[in-house]
Amino acid sequence: MAARNDFTDPERVAHVAKLARLALTPEEQAVLGRQLADILRAVDELAEVDTSGVEPTAFAGPEGTFRAPGQRVAITNAERLANAPEATAGAFRVPRVL
């Protein structure tokens, strides 16, 4: 088990941080890596549970509660942009992509 979750390897932490779009300082990388390795060691106890033939639960609501949202809240474009870090000409402004 140790190999598959070895967060003590800084490259592993860096890789997952990249997937999560999280910039980490070297200190954070070291501390978080240690803590995540501990947490994963603890959650590895699930491996001892026999789950053969058991369907996973992703949602614990009663049957049949899924439905398309019936309505949407009406928000003006100005309201939508009011919280924007940077807006221009009625749109969100971002760094050049192309």
User: Would you tell me which residues interact with another protein (CB under 8 A)?
Assistant: 4-5, 7, 13, 16-25, 28, 31-32, 35-36, 38-40, 42-47, 49, 51, 54-62, 65-73, 75, 79-80, 82-86, 92, 94-97
Q: Is 33 exposed, middle or buried (0-12, 13-18, 19+ CB in 10 A)?
A: buried
User: With contact defined as beta carbons under 8 Å apart, do 81 and 87 qualify?
Assistant: yes
> C-beta of 93: minimal distance to another protein in Å?
9
CB of 88 to another protein, least distance (A): 13
Residue 24's SS3 state is coil
CB of 90 to another protein, least distance (A): 13
Nearest CB to another protein, comparing residues 8 and 36? 36
Nearer to another protein, 11 or 38 (CB): 38
| Three-class DSSP category at 92 | strand
Report yes or no: 34 and 10 within 8 Å, Cβ to Cβ: no
